[in-house]
A and B are shown apart, each in its own frame.
Chain A
Amino acid sequence: MPKLSWFLYFLALFLNQSVFPQTRQPLKIGLVLDRGGKDDKSFNASAFTGATRAKNELNIHLKVLECSSDSAFVPTIRTFAQHGYDLIIGIGFVQKSAIEAVAKQFPRISFLLIDAPSSLPNVRSVIFQEHEGSYLVGTIAALSSKTKTVGFIGGMDIPLIRRFELGYRTGATAISTQVKTFTHYVGASSEAWRDPSRAKELAMLQFSKGVDVVFCAAGSSCLGVFDAAEEKKKYAIGVDSNQNWVKPGTILTSMVKGVDQAVYESISLKLNGLFSGGTVHMGLKENAISFSIDENNRKILTPEIERQALKIREQILSGTLIVPDFYNLHKSTSTSK
């Protein structure tokens, strides 16, 4: 009798494995947003869009968690790892050390890190060529400016944002040596990403000095800059997501950073078993960096300026124009980040 039951047991196992193949568990994807949260209309929103698109189009299980403080990253990422998630995505350079700490403990789980390099074999890191896009919006700003004075407002004063600034200022002054630029940073601490009132004051200050187009790369602080621009009837340039819709008629264009694209791509790579570690650069060539044109800014961004910007884009793509990269100028502070 026991023999028969063994036989039945193995038969059941066999049937289970081959005749009735188990429906494959959907891939489990965990997305950890930084403190801006998915409603920041900018950086995190872009990541959320990409992940949601993957959820709708591919067979995956997606869970998104927001972190309320910088010390919550490790436990949040680790919660995903502990529950056997296949791919865990950390948005923003602040998550670098948290992602790396967990990635070392869970070498079989894949991780995606946005905006900071990592050398771990199971971490894929995506760096965007922000300077290229910033150069383009810099030229658009200079061409649109009537006073030939343009401004830049950065969030936290770090190499990443300096990279935006350098590209932007180079682009603006390339139009004409007469173009004047003003630069301000909201702050030196991470509060700088969430301080719209201070950003608004800085924008007002720049407007009072004759600036009439301002590019803002400061997370949710930018909402203050947009407010100021609307009040003073000046132009602002959005960042990361296409922000043209936030204040139609005020936002000249947005320097779009394809965080959504990077997130979506990594998920589909993971799904197809092609995921690999290493640092990936995404820029104009991959169409991961661009400036946005839609019905919200069609009226304020003239076709002539668009044509010129596209021409410069071609020059960067073909390599005849090289945009200075803050990371290369200051290797010591940025490569090992």
Chain B
Amino acid sequence: MKQLFSVSIALLVSLTFLVLLLFFMGEDLNALSEALQHTFLNRFGLGYTLFYTTPLIFTGLSVALCFHAGLFNIGAEGQLLWGAIAIVAFSRYFPNLPPWSAIPLSFVVAALAGSLWGFLPGYFKAKRGTHEVITTILLNFIALSCVNYLILYPFKNPESQSAETSVLPAGYQLQTLWFPTTPVNVSLIIAIAVAIAVYVLLFRTSFGFELRTMGQSPRAAVFSGVLLSQRTLAVFMISGALAGLVATNDILGNEHKLIEGFSPGYGFTGIAVALLARNHPIGIIFSSFLFGSLQNFSRELEFFSQNISKEVSLILQAILIILVSTRDFWQRRRLK
């Protein structure tokens, strides 16, 4: 309850800020209401908002799971790239699979690829004690270069001048759900299901209990018999798998091909998403929706206003995060 309260205060403050900004830029305030309507109330807008929500659920979960175990996964961006290229590679080698096997297998392949890339920082952390923030950040660059190489050379679409792969075979193309002309697809439902699964894993299993103990006090975890290195490895692999699934939404559901730079930083926004939801898997669904709508809203606002650019959404995101993360600060002061 308290959480909802602080988030709504944060939302109100950022909305007020936006109104002030529009006012001082000499914009018509109708632009704001139009943009809000086109983000939530019309089918096209809501469709895109939901479409942008899906990848953030996956990366948010990926980051949050690590947070619970006291680890930082800044590498979701790299993991999701491997998930994406894995789907492309898989579809190359099995082009004729029918949808009922191609789609589920693509999900598995994407998750596997992500988890393999998550294995690396997990391994370095568990066996060598390398700090995972360093390794995950650096592995992002390696993943980006490798995946770009694969897009530009082995999997390049020879008929296009753009940096993109060929279009996936028909069996791999997800159809849109509920919202025609928008790319919302079944991965949204899977993302929500996965969020619930992560909730169960964290709060209803002994494995989850161990993770949380490890996050709150590694020493206590060691004394109660948790094998830290093994758990670290497992957490990173699961987190990687979650991030790897991002690709299903964009590749199977939308573009049906992998375009260089398809992710506008989902992995990094995922950190903000997890932060806003205080790492609660169910909360992440809602905070993803919030960030997804911000992404869509910024485009609509740019469309309806005269001089407002997309960067406004970044400012709003920053304000939201600052307000929500300083909540502790306010509360502590109240306690004194």
Contact = CB atoms under 8 A, between A and B. Distances in A.
A107 interface: no
B159 A189 contact: no
A305 interface: no
A82 B44 CA distance: 8
Contact of A189 (B152, B250, B299, B302): B152
A72 B309 CA distance: 14
Interface string A159-175: 11000000000000000
Given A82-B44, A190-B260, A333-B158, A156 B163 contact: yes
Nearest to B310: A68
A190 B261 contact: yes
Contacts of A96: 160, 162
B181 interface: yes
A294 interface: no
Taking residues whose C-beta sits less than 8 angstroms from the other chain, chain B's interface range is 20 to 34
B300 interface: yes
A75 B260 contact: no
Contacts of B162: 70, 93-94, 96-97, 190
B264 A160 contact: no
Nearest to A334: B161
B67 interface: no
Interface of B: 44, 48, 148, 151-152, 158-164, 181, 250, 254-255, 259-264, 296, 299-300, 302-303, 309-310
Given A82-B44, A189-B260, A333-B158, 9 more contacts: A66-B309, A70-B260, A71-B263, A79-B300, A83-B303, A116-B161, A189-B148, A333-B159, A337-B159
A12 interface: no
23 contacts: A65-B302, A66-B310, A68-B310, A69-B261, A69-B262, A70-B164, A71-B259, A71-B263, A72-B299, A75-B296, A79-B299, A82-B44, A82-B181, A93-B162, A94-B161, A94-B162, A188-B152, A189-B152, A189-B163, A190-B163, A190-B260, A190-B261, A333-B159
B181 A78 contact: yes
A15 interface: no
Across chains A and B, which 10 residue pairs bring their CB atoms closest together, nearest first?
A158-B161, A69-B264, A94-B162, A70-B259, A188-B152, A71-B262, A93-B161, A336-B159, A190-B163, A189-B148
A70 B48 CA distance: 16
Interface of A: 63, 65-66, 68-72, 74-76, 78-79, 82-83, 93-94, 96-97, 105, 116, 156, 158-160, 188-190, 333-334, 336-337
Nearest to B309: A66
A156 to B, nearest CB: 7
A282 B300 CA distance: 34
Contacts of A82: 44, 181
Contacts of A66: 309-310
A78 B254 CA distance: 13
A79 B261 contact: no
A337 B164 CA distance: 12
A65 B309 CA distance: 9
A97 B261 CA distance: 16
A156 B260 CA distance: 13
B161 A160 contact: yes
Contacts of B254: 71, 74
A71 B255 contact: yes
Nearest to B159: A336
Contacts of A78: 44, 181
A72 B48 CA distance: 11
Nearest to A106: B181
A75 B44 CA distance: 10
Nearest to A190: B163
Contacts of A188: 152, 163
Contact of A72 (B160, B164, B260, B264): B264
Contacts of B296: 75
Contacts of A79: 299-300, 303
A71 B254 CA distance: 9
A74 B264 CA distance: 14
Nearest to A333: B158
A297 B217 CA distance: 70
A81 B142 CA distance: 39
Contacts of B250: 71
B213 to A, nearest CB: 40
Nearest to A158: B161
B163 A75 contact: no
B303 A65 contact: yes
